[in-house]
Amino acid sequence: MSITTPTKAPFGVGLMKGLGVTLKHLFKKPTTQMYPHERPDLAPRTRGVIALFDENCTVCMLCARECPDWCIYIDSHKEKLPAQKEGGRERTRNALDRFAIDFALCMYCGICVEVCPFDALFWSPEFEYAEYEIGGMLHEMDRLREWADTVPPPPALDDGADSPAEVADAIAAKEKELDAAQAKTDEAAQADAAEEPAPTAKAKPAAKTGTNVADVHVEGAGEQIDQAVYDEQIAAGKSERMARAKAKAAWVRAQKKAKLAEQAEAEADGGDGGDGGDEPAADAGASAEAPPKQALADVHVEGAGEIDQAVYDEQIAAGKSERMARAKAKAAWVRAQKQKQLDDQDGGDP
């Protein structure tokens, strides 16, 4: 067994290499940062100083108790809050009077920032708070609050991560608002369509039938609940929050169902009464071959919910949307039915 030793370079090679390295660095840009003259290039989340967002502080004292250096000073007083409801009792809470960190003692472990359950303490990248006397390193609430404004925003969430609860709530509220506005404009458009039967107007009510319950917008979904469901849930031992959510969902469902029924009725009326108007341009060819329009318009067709499967498939194959295909297919079925009835009549008359 032999021990392999690294091959020894000839004398002088290492010496030359050493000279080469130093010479290379002579022409490199120095890494020195001329700090007082120019700002140092620090990482964005540099742990320069501990900042206090005092609006979030509840005087829970966790930071002061966890601090290994005992460099956090907190004073507070109790204050009474009036009852929120009539007849309720007053609540007490702690109001922050003084929050100071002695940075002469602080060893920048960051435990206080970690332990704060209310997001009141942050690392700030500020670092220029040197003092000529050690007493000056004890910084009070106002200074700590100023530093809180220099805290960088939290890093972006990963793709596909859940939004934070606060943000999700805010988004939901805003969406509800927008939905309500949308529903209003939809209704207005529907009303307009009913008044003046434009060529496109026909497709609209037909399309509505294709929509499911989820697409229907309900106004006032934030406030009202289905009381029956609520009571039932409470009786079943569910939490107040859960019961409210279920009841609300039930109410929204009911509202949507009612709306759909309304729409179906309106459509049925339109299909009977207003169908005699203009045919869509796409159906012009079929109409020309058909018997006189006058006769066709008068024919009543029952069971208007059915569609012409062939036309539907054809439309889908042509890349049309499901809604459009369904509308055309239904129109085709209705036409075919009417034609059939007319034919029957013609056949019966002579």
Partner 1 sequence: MTASLPALWDAGVLEALVAQSASLLTLDNFWLSALLKILLCTVMLMVVSLVGGYLEHKAMGHMQNRTGPMEAGPHGVLQLVADGIKFIQKEDIVPRAADPLVFAVAPGVALVPALLGFLVIPLGPGIWAEDLELGLFYALAIGSVGVLGILMGGWASANKFSLIGGIRAAAQLIAYELPLILAAAAVAIQAGSLSLVDIVESQATMNIFGTPVSMWFVFPQLLGFAIFVTAALAELSRPPFDMPIADSELVFGYMTEYTGIKFAMFLLTEYGGMVFMSALISVLYLGGWQPLPGIGLPGCEAAAGISDCGALGTVLGVGIMMAKIMALIFVMVWLRVAYPRLREDQLQKISWLVLIPLSLANIVVVAIGKVAL
* Integer Cα distance of 170 and 100 in angstroms: 34
| Residue 157 burial class via C-beta count within 10 angstroms: exposed 0-12, middle 13-18, buried 19 and up | exposed
Q: Where are the alpha helices (DSSP H) in the chain?
A: 13-26, 62-66, 111-115, 141-148, 165-195, 203-210, 227-235, 240-273, 284-289, 293-298, 309-317, 322-348
Judged by beta carbon, residue 22 or residue 185, the one nearer partner 1 is: 22
* Integer Cα distance of 73 and 68 in angstroms: 13
Tokens 């501990």 label which residue? 50
Judged by beta carbon, residue 22 or residue 84, the one nearer partner 1 is: 22
- Identify which of 116, 288, 322, 296 has the alpha carbon closest to the alpha carbon of residue 211: 322
Judged by beta carbon, residue 28 or residue 77, the one nearer partner 1 is: 28
Judged by beta carbon, residue 40 or residue 154, the one nearer partner 1 is: 40
Judged by beta carbon, residue 33 or residue 163, the one nearer partner 1 is: 33
Q: In the bound complex, what is the minimum distance in angstroms from residue 102's beta carbon to partner 1?
A: 33
Q: In the bound complex, what is the minimum distance in angstroms from residue 126's beta carbon to partner 1?
A: 25
Residue 79: phi and psi, rounded to 5, are -140, 150
Residue type, 74: I
- Identify which of 308, 314, 312 has the alpha carbon closest to the alpha carbon of residue 333: 308
Q: In the bound complex, what is the minimum distance in angstroms from residue 24's beta carbon to partner 1?
A: 9
Question: Beta partners for 122?
Answer: 51
* Integer Cα distance of 225 and 228 in angstroms: 9
- Identify which of 266, 254, 260, 194 has the alpha carbon closest to the alpha carbon of residue 229: 254
Judged by beta carbon, residue 1 or residue 15, the one nearer partner 1 is: 15
- Identify which of 35, 44, 39 has the alpha carbon closest to the alpha carbon of residue 124: 44
CA distances from 149 to 51, 121, 124, 152, 181 (A): 8, 12, 8, 8, 37
Which residues are at the interface with partner 1 (CB under 8 A)?
A: 15, 18-19, 21-23, 25-28, 30-32, 34
Q: In the bound complex, what is the minimum distance in angstroms from residue 11's beta carbon to partner 1?
A: 11
Judged by beta carbon, residue 19 or residue 189, the one nearer partner 1 is: 19
Q: In the bound complex, what is the minimum distance in angstroms from residue 29's beta carbon to partner 1?
A: 8
CA distances from 175 to 160, 181, 204, 302 (A): 19, 10, 24, 40
C-alpha 14: how far from its chain's center?
63
Tell me the residue length of the chain.
350
Q: In the bound complex, what is the minimum distance in angstroms from residue 139's beta carbon to partner 1?
A: 30
* Integer Cα distance of 103 and 50 in angstroms: 9
Judged by beta carbon, residue 3 or residue 34, the one nearer partner 1 is: 34
Q: In the bound complex, what is the minimum distance in angstroms from residue 140's beta carbon to partner 1?
A: 35
Q: In the bound complex, what is the minimum distance in angstroms from residue 22's beta carbon to partner 1?
A: 5
Judged by beta carbon, residue 10 or residue 30, the one nearer partner 1 is: 30
Q: In the bound complex, what is the minimum distance in angstroms from residue 15's beta carbon to partner 1?
A: 7
